[in-house]
Amino acid sequence: MAASARADVLVDAPGADLVRGHCSACHSLAVVTAQRGDQEFWRETIVWMQKTQNLWAIPQSHEQAILDYLATHYGASQFSRRPNLAAELMP
C-alpha cells in the first residue's frame, strides 16, 4: 500500500473519488484510513453507519467500487507485536 503523508489523504487509485464523495460528509477521511479490513469488514462498517449514524443508501455500483478500493488499499494486515497462533493450532 502506498504511504500517505497525511491521514486524511486517500491512496490515489480508481475508486478514491467515490470514497471521498460518500465518506467525508460527517467525518474526515482520517477515520477511514486508520482502519484495515477485508470486504466484509468494510461492508459491515457501511451497514452499521446506515443503521445507526444517518448514512444514506449508496447505489450498488458505487458501493462495490468503494469496497473493492478499500479492501485493496486498506486491506487486512497481520503484522503484530506477536502473531496469533498458526491456523492449525487453533481450536
Residues in touch with another protein (CB under 8 A): 6-8, 25-28, 30-31, 34-37, 41, 45, 52-55, 76-84, 90-91
Nearer to another protein, 7 or 13 (CB): 7
Compute the distance between CA of residue 63 and CA of residue 46 in angstroms, rounded to an integer: 9
Cβ neighbours around 14 below 10 Å, total = 10
Using the minimum distance from each CB to another protein, give the nearer residue, 20 or 61.
20
Closer CB to another protein, 2 or 34, in the complex: 34
DSSP state of 35: -
